[in-house]
Amino acid sequence: MQSARPTPSEPTGRALLKGLAFASPFIIGFLVLYLWPILASGYYSLTDFSLFKAPKWVGLANYERMISDAKFWKSLYNTLFFTFVGVPVDIAISIAGAHILNQKLKGQPLWRALVYLPSIVPAVAAGFLWRWLLNAQYGFVNEILRWFRIPQPNWLLDASWGGISVIVLMLWTVGGTMLIYLAALKNVPQELYEAAELDGAGPLRRFWHITWPMISPVTLFQVIVLIIAFLQVFTQPFVLSKDPGLGTQTATGPGDSMLSYSIYLFQNGFTFLKMGYASAMAWVLLFVTLAITLLILWSAKKWVFYDNR
């Protein structure tokens, strides 16, 4: 019986061709659907291009224009605000929630399913739901704040609260991160906690000296994934800000506080027909994401603990 796998006696070229043939669905898909659009957008970013007319070479003009484009800076600022406030809060809630889910409580599987439930609700549907929850006059969120006599902000029509509203909506799907942390917590050896307890370590010391280092590889992964998601945020601010009933039809929110980078990129490409400028913005976003990711990976040497070292 002959093996289907290439044998050492088979000519190397033939084996290579066979391998390429098997890998071709991915290779072709990658070249056509990923690499080509990436390279094309790089070229378009150096042109005046509108989707309909042939691109006209303008060199670095699109990149130069960004320097004096106030809305570009506003969208970048907003997006970095969403990211640098939203990601730490997301991580903190996830770790806290994972600890609660890790307790031996009755009906634990049900609680775990419930925290994940928002993650399977489509973002647009969630946006419409939260638009009512955050309504300054009739929303449940302000109603709860009223019970506790806490001032009730005008979440969707006050420039200082628009960005916070976007973060709140982003945090609604925190359950996904929480469950990954739950899996990480279950992998922490119990004997470490027992030893620490014998040495008199309290809950905070046990968390800081055992849990945090042991789940730090997961934290590194989560931080990078969340940063990428927050930097590309589109649907949440788009839905929250686009409400004809409120009279705001700009998709940018009060004081442009919900104008995310991706929304401004979309506006330039598909509303203003400035696809060259939109492509340049996409490349800047790529480099911003890359820079932040590399910075985090560099810093990881100091705070991420791998127990196989």
Contact 79, 289 (CB under 8 A): no
The letter for the amino acid at 26 is F
Site track 2-41 with other proteins (rule: CB under 8 A), x = hit: ----------------------------------------
Please provide the distance, in angstroms rounded to a whole number, between the alpha carbons at the two ends of the chain.
45
Is residue 254 within 8 Å of 248, Cβ to Cβ?
yes
Site for other proteins contains 59 (CB under 8 A): no
DSSP state of 245: G
Name the minimum Å distance from CB 151 to other proteins: 11
Structural contact between residues 252 and 258, judged by C-beta atoms closer than 8 angstroms: yes
We find the least distance from the C-beta atom of residue 271 to other proteins, in angstroms, to be 5
Within 8 A by CB and 6+ apart from 166, the residues are: 82, 233, 236, 237, 240, 253, 258, 260
66 contributes a contact to other proteins by CB under 8 A: no
Binding positions for other proteins, 157-176, rule CB under 8 A: 157-159
- DSSP for 247-272, please give it: TB-SSS-GGGTT--HHHHHHIIIIIS
Segment interacting with other proteins, rule: CB under 8 A, options 63-71, 78-86, 176-184, 218-226 = 63-71
Find the binding residues for other proteins in span 249-268 (CB under 8 A): 249-250, 252, 254-256, 267
47: helix, strand or coil: strand
Cβ atoms of residues 155 and 141 within 8 Å: yes
The DSSP line for 79-99 is HHHHHHHHHHHHHHHHHHHHH
Options 156, 174, 280, 282; binder of other proteins; rule CB under 8 A: 156
Contact 210, 99 (CB under 8 A): no
Rule CB under 8 A: choose which of 6, 15, 42, 69 binds other proteins. 69
Of 71-100, which residues contact other proteins (CB under 8 A)? Answer: 71
Residue of the chain from 9, 25, 26, 52 that contacts other proteins (CB under 8 A): 52
Report the residue from 1, 4, 67, 70 that binds other proteins according to the rule CB under 8 A: 70
Residue whose CB is less far from other proteins, 184 or 239: 239
149 contributes a contact to other proteins by CB under 8 A: no
Q: Which residues bind other proteins (CB under 8 A)?
A: 50-53, 65, 68-71, 135-138, 154, 156-159, 243-250, 252, 254-256, 267, 270-274
